A and B are shown apart, each in its own frame.
Chain A
Amino acid sequence: MIEKIFQTEIMYQQVLDENGNIDEKLYPHDLSDDKLLKMYYYMTLSRAFDNKLISLQRQGRAVTYAPAMGEEAVQVGAASALRDKDYFVPNYRQHVIYFMRGLPIEKYMLSWRGFEEGLEIPPEVHGFPVVVPVGSQIPHAVGVAYALKLRNDGQVVLTFVGDGATSEGDFYEGMNFAGVLKVPLITIIENNQYAISTPRSKQTAAKTLAQKAVAAGIRAIQVDGNDVIGVYKAVKDAIDTIGEGPMLIEAITYRMAFHTTSDNPALYRTKEEEKEWKRRDPIDRMRKFLEKKGLWDSEKEKELWEKHQEALNKAVETADKFVPDPKSMFNVFSFLPETLKEEMEEYFGDGNEG
């Protein structure tokens, strides 16, 4: 005897198309004009922050930097659906979400100038430090989500990985734990088509990344990641139904710039491809929509970028004033062991020297 015992399907969702038109049936009507404008504000702030950090890096005033260019709709759309009580666990590319949740730009900027002080994150941000080893934050997000489940207050955790991270063991393990423990975890795959130079097609033979949820017994959807409203809707729907279990959302987007400032995309992709995705720039799409709605014009656009520029210049000025304290490096334990104290004193003197 042989019979079918299981089958599944993965849905693809888009609400706002490339021309700025919306699908009325799917449009989330809880989105006020104010909220739409806020989304646009943060999408553009993210782009401006990228430009500023790239420029600082080129001047030797920032360390290697990973821009979010092209992925603003995924990040801003998802984080806009979060409530203050929810948490987020980033990798290293979701800069703007820290700003959306109250971490000052000049503070966070310090981390990209090479100082841990930039990741002194106040508890009310409900967010965690940048994590570098790819995919390794997923298990942390599972733990955070388990703690929230114990609190039983309807809170969720939002975490982010790239397409490359879906090949990591921690990704599979984390999804599996999330399914078994039924924790309130929403995982976004920011599928920007490349893990440095490795294209999505060489990462997995699976047709979608979203379907990796199926083996873990959790829900999944694929969305247009350059559609900020669609991403918002997918995350909002996941939050509203989180009692049914965790959710994996694959957002199809494009890394418009390099992996980091050390990378050269000309080695592995064509100008034509980049141009094609430039046409689908998530910021242009949202602006078209806002213009059609009568919420935006060129005057406002000009003012907004000036405002971002001013805020970023001020942040750089403040960050420039930061004075590093090398002794703070020895803050490794809740106490200073004798042997470590001795090493510190040998490096820095007995406290009277700097």
Chain B
Amino acid sequence: MGMKANMVEALNNALNIIMDRDERAVILGEDVGTEGGVFRVTTGLKQKYGEHRVIDTPLAESTIIGMSIGLALMGLHPFPEIQFAGFSYVSFNQLVSHAARYRSRSRSSFFLPMVVRMPSGGGVKALEIHSENPETYYAYSQGLIILEPSTPYDAKGLLISASRLNDPVIFLEPLKLYRLFREEIPEEPYEVPIGRANILRKGNEVTIVTYGPTVPDVLKVVDKKKVDAEVIDLRSIVPLDEKTILDSVKKTGRVMIVHQAPLSFGVGAEIAARISEKAIYSLEAPIVRIASPSIPYPFPGYEDYYIPDERRIEKGLDKLMSA
């Protein structure tokens, strides 16, 4: 059986499946219970599974994550929600000094099955600190799985896959895509493999690597320009599917990396470095990176000048193809 769902509905459906299937699953966070979360991803879950499993917590991100660590240590499977990714900085110490290291510091005698969900990125004219893309911070913390879907289908499948891992997962939900479109997804449980990128368009002339909020913009540009592009949606930032990227680059000889997070030291830098190390002789043109500039995310009035849009992606592609 199928259902039409946007990303919010797909995530809610996945959480229902997880909570149904596994009594150890617990949801906690600010406003996740009675209200169903500020984006309504947890709608109806408290009513269905009870306030002991869907916990409206006090307003304190560090302890939402820290408490989740304690729950995971005791064999539960917490799904903490951080209301906006920018607020996760308050819990940075818990994520980096504890969640990422617990398995390592105890030589696997303890491990943390937990999925930290957070709406990420901008594009909806939100207030300051409501549009952050924190993936590089967490990818660099060594010990966290970082996932970011770009479609309702992947959102549901990745969340279910994440719920089967005995590892801490940062699950970034591009809030710009939460309600952007609906698509047909299976009602039944299914999984999307972690650590495997998705090739959205097969092509031979150029490789475009992207993920999360910029995926629909890239597809629009590719369709408009009628380039023979191979579009790779990472879905999984850690672990990174290096093989899919390298195989494609070796075939096309040209690569553009697009993300909404700022340019310097970003995910694109890591990918470019790996291509330089392992496929530089296949390149016919310098690597192009399209990202937000290396400045703080501005107030919403300036947002349109800041995040990469179709125009900037198109410009980057023109530069790459004419090089």
**A interface list, Cβ under 8 A from B:** 89, 116-117, 119-122, 128-129, 131-133, 136, 138-148, 150, 169-170, 173-174, 176-177, 180-181, 328-329, 331-334, 337-340
**Which residue of B70, B76, B106 contacts A119 across the interface (Cβ within 8 Å)?**
B106
Q: Mark B276-299, 1 if CB is under 8 A from A, else 0.
A: 000000000000000000000000
| Alpha-carbon gap, A173 to B67, bound state (A) | 10
CB of A101, distance to nearest CB on chain B (Å) = 14
Count how many chain B residues have C-beta atoms less than 8 Å from C-beta atoms of the other chain.
Answer: 46
CB of B97, distance to nearest CB on chain A (Å) = 5
Does residue B33 face the partner (Cβ distance < 8 Å to A)?
no
Q: Which of B58-66, B183-191, B303-311 contacts A (4 or more CB under 8 A)?
A: B58-66
**Which residue of A145, A170, A174, A331 contacts B107 across the interface (Cβ within 8 Å)?**
A331
Does residue B57 face the partner (Cβ distance < 8 Å to A)?
yes
**B interface list, Cβ under 8 A from A:** 52, 55, 57-58, 60, 62-63, 65-76, 78, 93-94, 97-98, 102-111, 142-143, 145, 165-167, 195, 238-240, 242-243
A334-B111, A338-B242 are contacts. A177–B67 as well, Cβ < 8 Å? yes
CB of A122, distance to nearest CB on chain B (Å) = 7
| Interface contact A129-B105, CB-CB below 8 Å | yes
Interface centre among B58, B97, B145, B166 (most CB of A within 10 A): B58
Chain B residues, Cβ within 8 Å of A334: 103, 111, 165-167
| Interface contact B167-A136, CB-CB below 8 Å | no
Chain A residues, Cβ within 8 Å of B74: 143-144, 147-148
| Interface contact A338-B70, CB-CB below 8 Å | no
**Which residue of A116, A150, A177 contacts B63 across the interface (Cβ within 8 Å)?**
A177
| Interface contact B106-A337, CB-CB below 8 Å | no
Interface centre among A122, A132, A136 (most CB of B within 10 A): A136
A-B CB proximity, top 9 nearest: A143-B70, A139-B66, A337-B239, A147-B74, A173-B63, A143-B67, A140-B70, A173-B60, A139-B63
CB of A9, distance to nearest CB on chain B (Å) = 26
| Alpha-carbon gap, A329 to B107, bound state (A) | 8
**Which residue of A133, A139, A148 contacts B69 across the interface (Cβ within 8 Å)?**
A139
Chain B residues, Cβ within 8 Å of A143: 66-74, 78
CB of B219, distance to nearest CB on chain A (Å) = 27
Chain B residues, Cβ within 8 Å of A131: 98
Minimal Cβ-Cβ distance residue in B for A159? B70
**A/B interface sample: 9 pairs, CB < 8 A:** A119-B106, A120-B107, A138-B66, A140-B98, A143-B73, A170-B94, A180-B58, A331-B108, A339-B239
| Interface contact B242-A120, CB-CB below 8 Å | no
Chain A residues, Cβ within 8 Å of B98: 131, 133, 136, 140
| Interface contact B104-A331, CB-CB below 8 Å | yes
| Interface contact B142-A332, CB-CB below 8 Å | yes
| Alpha-carbon gap, A331 to B142, bound state (A) | 11
Chain B residues, Cβ within 8 Å of A169: 60, 62
**Which residue of B104, B240, B243 contacts A116 across the interface (Cβ within 8 Å)?**
B104
**Which residue of B58, B76, B106 contacts A147 across the interface (Cβ within 8 Å)?**
B76
A169-B62, A333-B143, A338-B243 are contacts. A328–B107 as well, Cβ < 8 Å? yes
| Alpha-carbon gap, A170 to B57, bound state (A) | 15
Chain B residues, Cβ within 8 Å of A120: 106-109
**Which residue of A133, A141, A145, A150 contacts B93 across the interface (Cβ within 8 Å)?**
A133
Chain B residues, Cβ within 8 Å of A122: 109
Chain B residues, Cβ within 8 Å of A338: 195, 239, 242-243
| Alpha-carbon gap, A128 to B69, bound state (A) | 12
| Alpha-carbon gap, A150 to B142, bound state (A) | 32
| Alpha-carbon gap, A334 to B195, bound state (A) | 13
Minimal Cβ-Cβ distance residue in A for B72? A143
| Alpha-carbon gap, A89 to B69, bound state (A) | 12
Minimal Cβ-Cβ distance residue in B for A337? B239
CB of A214, distance to nearest CB on chain B (Å) = 16
| Interface contact B67-A139, CB-CB below 8 Å | yes
Interface centre among A131, A138, A176, A177 (most CB of B within 10 A): A177
- Supply 13 further A-B pairs (C-beta < 8 A) apart from A332-B142, A332-B143: A119-B105, A120-B107, A136-B94, A138-B63, A143-B70, A143-B78, A176-B63, A177-B57, A331-B107, A332-B103, A334-B111, A334-B165, A338-B242
CB of B96, distance to nearest CB on chain A (Å) = 10
Minimal Cβ-Cβ distance residue in A for B242? A339
CB of A312, distance to nearest CB on chain B (Å) = 23
Minimal Cβ-Cβ distance residue in B for A331? B108
Chain A residues, Cβ within 8 Å of B60: 169, 173, 176-177
| Interface contact B58-A116, CB-CB below 8 Å | no
| Alpha-carbon gap, A141 to B69, bound state (A) | 9
Chain A residues, Cβ within 8 Å of B165: 334
Chain A residues, Cβ within 8 Å of B73: 128, 140, 143-144, 147
| Interface contact A333-B70, CB-CB below 8 Å | no
**Which residue of B66, B195, B242, B243 contacts A170 across the interface (Cβ within 8 Å)?**
B66
A177-B57, A338-B242 are contacts. A145–B63 as well, Cβ < 8 Å? no
| Alpha-carbon gap, A122 to B75, bound state (A) | 14
Minimal Cβ-Cβ distance residue in A for B143? A332
**Which residue of A116, A145, A329, A337 contacts B70 across the interface (Cβ within 8 Å)?**
A145
| Alpha-carbon gap, A120 to B69, bound state (A) | 17
Chain B residues, Cβ within 8 Å of A132: 97
| Interface contact B69-A129, CB-CB below 8 Å | no
| Alpha-carbon gap, A331 to B67, bound state (A) | 24
Minimal Cβ-Cβ distance residue in B for A129? B106
A143-B68, A143-B71, A334-B167 are contacts. A119–B239 as well, Cβ < 8 Å? no
Chain B residues, Cβ within 8 Å of A117: 107
CB of B24, distance to nearest CB on chain A (Å) = 9
